[in-house]
Amino acid sequence: MNVVRAERIKLFSTRAPWWCGALSVLAPLAFTTLFFALAGSEVTASVGNTQLATGIGRTVALVLAVLAATSDASWGTLRLTFQAVPTRVPALLAKGAVVVLVCAVLGLLAGVGSWGIASLVRPDADLALHSAADWRLVLGQTVTFAFTGLLGVGVGLLLRSTALALTLVLVWTQLVEGLVLLIPRVGPDVYPWLPFFAAGQFAGGDFTQAALNVTPAFGPWGYLAYFGGICVAFFVAGVVTANRRDA
C-alpha cells in the first residue's frame, strides 16, 4: 500500500485540495442556510430540498479531482511517479482510490451538513428522516461525490492540461447541462440522460425535476448505476491512456 500512502502525501501536501475540500462543504452549507432562511414558501422545507445546493459542492469536488490528476501531469511529477512505479497502473489506481475516499468524506459532510443546517434554520419544519428515500437523499451524497472524484481523475488523466480540463468540466457542469433544456424539441429528451442530472436524481433536491417538464429515464438507483457507469468509464479510459502513452 506504499503507492496509496504516496498519493495521500501528494494530495495533502499542496494547498488546492484543502481549499477545494473546504469550499465543497461550506458552499452547500451556506447556500442551504440562505435558501431555508430567505426563500419562504418558494422552497418547500422538505428533506429533498435540503440537498438543493450540494451540486455546487459536488462541482468543487470535481475540480479537486481534476487538479489531483492534472497538477501531476503538468508539473512532471507524473513522470517521477512512473519512474518510481514503472508498472504505472498501481499508482494510477492509488490516485483514484485516495481521491474517491476524500470526495466520499466531503460528500458525507456536505449532505449531512446541509440537512443539519436546514433543520437548525427551520426547526418548525419536519425534516426528520422518515423513509429509506429520505436517508438516501442525505447520505447518497457520499456516493455521488465519490463517483464524481473518479470522473475528475479520469478526465484529468485524459487531458493532462489543468486549464483545458478545468474549462471543460466547468463549462459542462455550469453551462451545458443547463442549456441543453433550451434546445427546442430534443432538449427535454436529452436532459434526463445527462450525468449530473442523473447524480441529482439519486441524491439531490427535486427543485428542477418538479419545475421542469422532464420525464426521468430511471428510478434513483438506476440513475446511480448510470452515473457510476459513466464515471468508471472515464476513469478506466484515463488509466488505460496514461498507461499506454509516452510520459
Partner 1 sequence: MLETHGLTKSYGETLAVDALTFTAEAGRVTGFLGPNGAGKSTTMRLLLGLDTPTAGTAHIDGKPYRQLADPLRTVGALLDATWRHPGRSARQHLRWLAATNGLPDRRVGEVLELVGLGSVAKKRAGEFSLGMLQRLGIATALLGDPKVLLFDEPVNGLDPEGVLWVRQLMHSLAADGRTVFVSSHLLPEMEQTAQDLVVIGRGRLTYQGTMADFVHRAGSRGVRVHTPQADTLRAALAEHGIACTGEGDALVVSEVDSDTVGDIAFTVGATLHELSPLAGSLEQAYLELTGQTAEFTSGGAR
Shortest Å, Cβ 104 to partner 1: 22
Helix segments in the chain, DSSP class H: 2-12, 15-38, 54-75, 77-84, 89-121, 132-139, 141-159, 162-171, 177-179, 186-190, 195-202, 207-211, 220-244
Q: Answer yes or no whether residue 49 interacts with partner 1 by CB under 8 A.
A: no
Measured distance CA(247)–CA(242) in Å, rounded: 8
Q: Which of residues 3-22 bind partner 1 (CB under 8 A)?
A: 3, 5-7, 9-10, 13-16
**Between 82 and 121, how does the x/- string for binding to partner 1 read (CB under 8 A)?**
xxxxxx---x------------------------------
Burial class (CB in 10 A: 0-12, 13-18, 19+), 125: middle
Candidate list 22, 44, 76, 236; residue touching partner 1; CB under 8 A: 76
Q: What is the DSSP letter of 43?
A: S
Shortest Å, Cβ 67 to partner 1: 11
Contact 64, 98 (CB under 8 A): no
Candidate list 22, 37, 79, 133; residue touching partner 1; CB under 8 A: 79
In the complex with partner 1, the residue whose CB is nearer, 85 or 217, is: 85
Q: What is the DSSP letter of 7?
A: H
In the complex with partner 1, the residue whose CB is nearer, 91 or 150, is: 91
Q: Answer yes or no whether residue 163 interacts with partner 1 by CB under 8 A.
A: no
b/e map of 235-244 (b: 16 or more CB within 10 Å)? Answer: beebbeebee
- The residues of the shown chain that bind partner 1, judged by CB under 8 A, are 2-3, 5-7, 9-10, 13-16, 71-72, 75-77, 79-87, 91, 246-247
